[in-house]
Amino acid sequence: MAIDTPYRAIFCDLTTDQTIDILPLRDVSFDDYIGKAGSLSGTIPIPNKDIADRVKKVREGRTAIYLERGGDLWWGGIVWTTTLQSSGRGVLTLSLQAATFDSYASRRRIRTNIQLTDDQLAIARRLWTELTKAPCFEIVTGEELSGTQRTVNYRVGDETVYQEALDQLAAMQNGFEYQILVYRDPEDGRRVRELRLGAPKIRTGATDMLFDRPGVILSYSFPYDATRGGTTSMARGASVNPNAGAESRPLYSDEQIDTGLLHDGWPLIDLSSDHNEISDQTTLNQLAKAELDGALGAVLIPAISIHLGGIVPPALLGRVARIRITDEWFSTGLDARYRIIGVKVTPPERGRPDTAELYLEEA
């Protein structure tokens, strides 16, 4: 990183969270989302042997990285890949790719029998407790409840990926969202990794954040994508074969149809999903309905680009943003509320300002 950057890159042992070193990181960008793992990329310059010896302690799969800005943690995750490079002039660098802590769930498989009927958020906590058992990293969990009961059955030998189990549970009708938030404990300053759960949505903050154009909004986009949406949906599950002499066929849900869109002039546009470990039609119906509810007609994920300043807090995901735009398109003025579901930050470097792109959905 440039000397004048407001960010510090802190490298720690993944399992103990003990600080290994604070190293310069340039050409860095990072993002975070609700619903999928965020990422970070950057390059550590290696100008001499002393720095090389320090950088050698950064071990892929065993090292955590945090980005700190103004004393607040803005991003935290696991270094998964590194690449040592030497240029034609002999300049050494180590480039790295990291992902937020929730990416760890994609690297673990359920290898214990888990059979539960409980609140869906309690089941999600149980899964995270299982997958982060020692030797692993510690996460803090709460006691949130959604009021929605689920039944799950995971068996040794099925090799179900924890990420797939969590996402499938969250994707059901009246499901939930989860995210691992990093921050410093206000009392002792230690780093905290907290599992956040929200049903049906994660929401942060009691008041709306206000962004104007002209004003703090540098640019915006409103992409409408009918190739990702639909008016009908079906979900396929596990293959069932009650008759050993007959062909195995997958169990499938009832077709879910949004008649309101059809009456409004939309044609039939089909959505489909596969859930090979589900053998219950009620569950498949819920998954199909949830998929259709989340992608009705054309999918819209607006985005705005803003200058980062002191008024923008690190915990942006789940916050409600009030967007006000007046220009040729919105000649009478747009004044709408959106929930922030994704953040991509580009730190300042070589004269480039500190900016963030916020990905939105209707609040």
Q: Tokens in use for 276? A: 């090979």
Percentage of residues in the chain having pLDDT higher than 70? 96
Residue tagged 């059955």 (tokens): 153
What is the model's pLDDT at position 350? 72
What is the model's pLDDT at position 347? 83
In this structure, are 63 and 116 located in the same domain?
no
Please give the single-letter amino acid code of residue 66: Y
What is the model's pLDDT at position 306? 94
In this structure, are 336 and 286 located in the same domain?
no
* Domain final position from 243, 266, 293: 293
In this structure, are 162 and 52 located in the same domain?
no
Q: In this structure, is residue 85 part of a structural domain? A: yes
What is the model's pLDDT at position 249? 83
Q: Tokens in use for 277? A: 């470990």
Q: Tokens in use for 28? A: 């860095």
In this structure, are 211 and 309 located in the same domain?
yes
Q: In this structure, is residue 2 part of a structural domain? A: no
In this structure, are 184 and 309 located in the same domain?
no
CA atoms of 273 and 234, how far apart (whole Å):
7
pTM: 0.89
Question: Which residues fall within 8 angstroms of residue 231, CB to CB, at 6 or more apart?
Answer: 257, 258, 261, 262, 266, 267, 268, 269, 270, 292, 296, 297
Q: In this structure, is residue 89 part of a structural domain? A: yes
Number of domains in the chain: 4
Q: In this structure, is residue 348 part of a structural domain? A: yes
Q: Tokens in use for 89? A: 């002039």
Range of the domain at 11: 7-104
Beta strand spans in 128-276 (E): 149-154, 177-184, 191-198, 204-213, 217-221, 224-225, 232-240, 249-252, 256-257, 270-274
Beta strand pairing status for 232-240 and 270-274?
A: parallel
Residue tagged 């909004």 (tokens): 217
Nearest to 93 by CA among 40, 31, 5, 27: 27
Q: Tokens in use for 66? A: 């945090």
* Domain final position from 104, 139, 170: 104
* Domain final position from 54, 88, 104: 104
In this structure, are 36 and 149 located in the same domain?
no
Listed as ranges, residues in the chain with pLDDT below 50 are 1-3
In this structure, are 218 and 324 located in the same domain?
yes
What is the model's pLDDT at position 3? 39
Mean pLDDT for the chain? 92
Task: Dump pLDDT digits (tens) for 131-160.
Answer: 999 889 999 999 999 999 999 999 999 999
Q: Degrees (nearest 5) of the Cα angle 234, 160, 136?
A: 135
CA atoms of 31 and 60, how far apart (whole Å):
19
CA atoms of 187 and 170, how far apart (whole Å):
33
In this structure, are 211 and 318 located in the same domain?
yes
Question: Which residues fall within 8 angstroms of residue 110, CB to CB, at 6 or more apart?
Answer: 127, 130, 154, 156, 158, 159, 160, 161, 162, 165
CA atoms of 332 and 154, how far apart (whole Å):
54
How far apart, in Å, are the Cα atoms of 101 and each of 15, 175, 246?
Answer: 12, 21, 45
What is the model's pLDDT at position 2? 39
In this structure, are 100 and 115 located in the same domain?
no
Q: In this structure, is residue 188 part of a structural domain? A: yes
